[in-house]
Amino acid sequence: MTPLAPVLIGALGIFGIGVGLLVGRMPELDGFMFPPVMWPLAAALVFDLVTRPMVAAGRLPDVTMTERAIAVVAGGVAYQLVRWLLPSL
């Protein structure tokens, strides 16, 4: 596991919890064209866009696709758990 992977996995897990709480407060967000359970995928893209120049310069290690996939799944699972445990706030 690369040193940056736990940061990405933790960040997307926290992001998934935040999205779950937000959708619990505003259920109309659940009807978007891009469902909230997939928002961690968008957050992973932003993470890649921010870190990619630093990886290319050699200042950060690259995160593997497996680690990215684990992080996106962690964000989606965190979102689903929050929605299941707190259906409406």
- Mean pLDDT per block of 10 residues along the chain (89 residues) reads 94 97 92 92 95 95 95 97 87
Helices 5-25 and 65-85 cross at an angle (nearest 10°) of 30
Query: What pTM value is reported for the model?
Result: 0.90
The candidate with the shortest Cα–Cα distance to 83, out of 9, 33, 21, 13, is 21
The candidate with the shortest Cα–Cα distance to 78, out of 18, 30, 31, is 18
Residues in CB range of 86: below 8 A, 6 or more apart: 20, 21, 24
Domain positions in the chain: 5-25+36-85
Query: What is the model's pLDDT at position 87?
Result: 80
Count other C-beta atoms under 10 Å from residue 16's C-beta: 28
